[in-house]
């Protein structure tokens, strides 16, 4: 891959830079620069409202969901142009987080399985941020093994009646719609009796309970369904073909998480350049330098692994499962980096408030958020299974319940 811009890409970059320079919400630049994984918020403003305003402005200028077709609210841009946009958007890109699930997972699923009418109704509003979407897959009994889920959908004329519970639903508390994976036939093996829908999150019978996290935030929720009615027209894909539909969502999830995952390295490098230890700057200490060198090598390995995926996309190929490597490596790296930065702070490392702690407490926030990175979108162990089976060609995981009807799998209760 040639990393220099072609003349067309250089022109695209110049246009994007000019537009951002003229339109970005510069009043939030300093605060956004200080934020980090685990702490992206604004002191005096509601970040979702600020994010919505920026998204709408970008949408009016034609700068959202760049790779989507124009008729669905996108720009029809190339994968490389999308990366150029992200590079130019810089700190303001931190405002895209409420829309990532809609753009990265729900939108592509609706695009693949929705009716033309649905695509024209819902996709442009996902792109403009006017409607936020969430992903209702995981349940207490169905996380890594999402096909083990128990939320039931039962047909009732032109509608389906939903009963059950989801968990870890990011952003459900501010979402307008969600894609929902349900069990429609418990008498067949677990992957064969699932059906996908989308639903209005304000539907009667939907109850959302935020989960309080270790860092004090509530980014995700438990969602309960009691006799929730969904029109059959909101089914995505065929009845009992939900597993195949969910693979579209999950493949896009791994792509969107894997492509731009944070490592914490730039923050650590900057921190070590400013931190005074007893005998000088941290960055001049040979032990610190040796750690930094190791992480620098990993960070560039990750950068070029994600470039490989972008290069595959730009040639019209689908990036392979090797993208799982990015998430696996970056997840533990950010955790190690945060722990190291806190060690360097000595006793003061126990302080975590943005006002009291070193570097505005960004490493403390990262440390508390990093375990989530290692779980969301597939745990480390699941990533290792994917790499083992699909990249290295090792024998598959043992799946004893694969061919057993779901209602015959021994369990404590269903």
Ligand X SMILES: Cc1cc2nc3c(=O)[nH]c(=O)nc-3n(C[C@H](O)[C@H](O)[C@H](O)COP(=O)(O)OP(=O)(O)OC[C@H]3O[C@@H](n4cnc5c(N)ncnc54)[C@H](O)[C@@H]3O)c2cc1C
Q: Which of residues 118-147 bind ligand X (CB under 6 A)?
A: 134-138, 143-144
Residue 163: what are its φ and ψ, rounded to 5°? -140, 135
Interaction pattern, residues 158-187, with ligand X; x per rule: CB under 6 A: ----------xxx-----------------
253 is annotated as an active-site residue:
yes
Assess contact for 365 and 215: CB atoms under 8 A: yes
Cβ at position 342, least distance to ligand X in Å: 21
Cβ at position 171, least distance to ligand X in Å: 7
Rounded-to-integer distance, Cα 138 and Cα 146, Å: 6
Cβ at position 372, least distance to ligand X in Å: 3
Cβ at position 261, least distance to ligand X in Å: 12
Indicate which residue of 31, 81, 88, 253 is catalytic. 253
Cβ at position 326, least distance to ligand X in Å: 17
The tokens describing 116, both together, are 């033309």
The tokens describing 320, both together, are 């392979």
Assess contact for 389 and 396: CB atoms under 8 A: yes
Cβ at position 260, least distance to ligand X in Å: 16
Total residues contacting ligand X by CB under 6 A comes to: 19
Encode burial over 369-386: b for 16+ CB neighbours within 10 A, e otherwise: bbebbbebbbbbebbebb
Cβ distance to ligand X smaller for residue 359 or 383: 383
Interaction pattern, residues 361-400, with ligand X; x per rule: CB under 6 A: -----------x--xx--x-xx--x-----------x---
Distances (CA, A) of 377 to 105, 254, 400: 11, 7, 23
Residues ≥6 apart with Cβ < 8 Å to 224: 164, 165, 206, 207, 208, 209
The tokens describing 184, both together, are 């429609």
Residues ≥6 apart with Cβ < 8 Å to 42: 28, 31, 32, 50
Cβ distance to ligand X smaller for residue 179 or 344: 179
Q: Across 47-192, where does the E strand assignment appear?
A: 133-136, 152-156, 159-170, 177-183
Interaction pattern, residues 194-233, with ligand X; x per rule: CB under 6 A: --------------------------x-------------
Work out whether 100 is an interface residue with ligand X (CB under 6 A). no
* Continuous segment of H or E residues that includes residue 207: strand 206-210
Cβ distance to ligand X smaller for residue 30 or 398: 398
Coil, strand or helix at 204 = coil
The tokens describing 319, both together, are 């990036």
Rounded-to-integer distance, Cα 101 and Cα 72, Å: 16
Cβ distance to ligand X smaller for residue 345 or 385: 385
Task: Indicate the angle between helix axes 47-61 and 116-128, nearest 10 degrees.
Answer: 120
**Interacting residues toward ligand X by CB under 6 A:** 134-138, 143-144, 168-170, 220, 372, 375-376, 379, 381-382, 385, 397
Active site residues: 253
């Amino acid at each position: 891959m040639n990393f220099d811009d072609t003349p067309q890409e250089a022109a695209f970059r110049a246009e994007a830079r000019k537009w951002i320079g003229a339109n970005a919400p510069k009043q939030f630049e300093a605060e956004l620069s200080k934020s980090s994984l685990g702490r992206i918020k604004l002191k005096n403003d509601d970040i979702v409202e600020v994010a919505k305003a920026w998204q709408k402005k970008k949408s009016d200028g034609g700068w959202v969901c760049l790779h989507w077709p124009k008729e669905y609210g996108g720009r029809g841009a190339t994968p490389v142009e999308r990366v150029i946009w992200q590079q130019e958007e810089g700190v303001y890109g931190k405002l895209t987080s409420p829309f990532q699930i809609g753009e990265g997972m729900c939108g592509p699923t609706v695009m693949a399985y929705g009716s033309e009418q649905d695509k024209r109704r819902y996709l442009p509003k996902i792109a403009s941020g006017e409607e936020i979407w969430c992903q209702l897959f995981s349940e207490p009994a169905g996380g890594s093994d999402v096909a083990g889920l128990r939320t039931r959908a039962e047909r009732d004329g032109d509608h389906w009646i939903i009963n059950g519970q989801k968990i870890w639903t990011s952003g459900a508390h501010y979402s307008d719609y969600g894609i929902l994976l349900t069990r429609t036939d418990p008498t067949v093996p677990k992957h064969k009796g699932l059906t996908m829908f989308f639903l209005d999150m304000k539907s009667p019978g939907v109850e959302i309970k935020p989960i309080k996290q270790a860092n004090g935030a509530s980014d995700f929720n438990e969602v309960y369904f009691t006799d929730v009615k969904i029109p059959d027209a909101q089914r995505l894909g065929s009845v009992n073909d939900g597993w195949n539909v969910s693979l579209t969502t999950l493949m896009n999830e791994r792509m969107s998480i894997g492509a731009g995952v944070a490592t914490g390295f730039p923050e650590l490098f900057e921190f070590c350049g400013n931190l005074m230890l007893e005998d000088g700057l941290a960055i001049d200490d040979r032990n610190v330098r040796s750690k930094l060198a190791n992480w620098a090598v990993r960070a560039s390995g990750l950068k070029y692994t994600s470039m490989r995926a972008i290069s595959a996309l730009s040639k019209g190929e689908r990036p392979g499962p090797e993208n799982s490597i990015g998430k696996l490596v970056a997840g533990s790296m950010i955790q190690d980096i945060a722990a190291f930065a806190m060690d360097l702070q000595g006793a003061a490392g126990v302080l975590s408030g943005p006002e009291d702690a070193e570097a505005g407490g960004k490493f403390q926030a990262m440390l508390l958020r990093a375990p989530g990175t290692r779980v969301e979108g597939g745990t480390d162990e699941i990533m290792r299974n994917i790499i083992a089976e699909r990249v290295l060609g090792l024998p598959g995981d043992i799946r004893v319940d694969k061919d057993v009807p779901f209602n015959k799998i021994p369990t404590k209760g269903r």
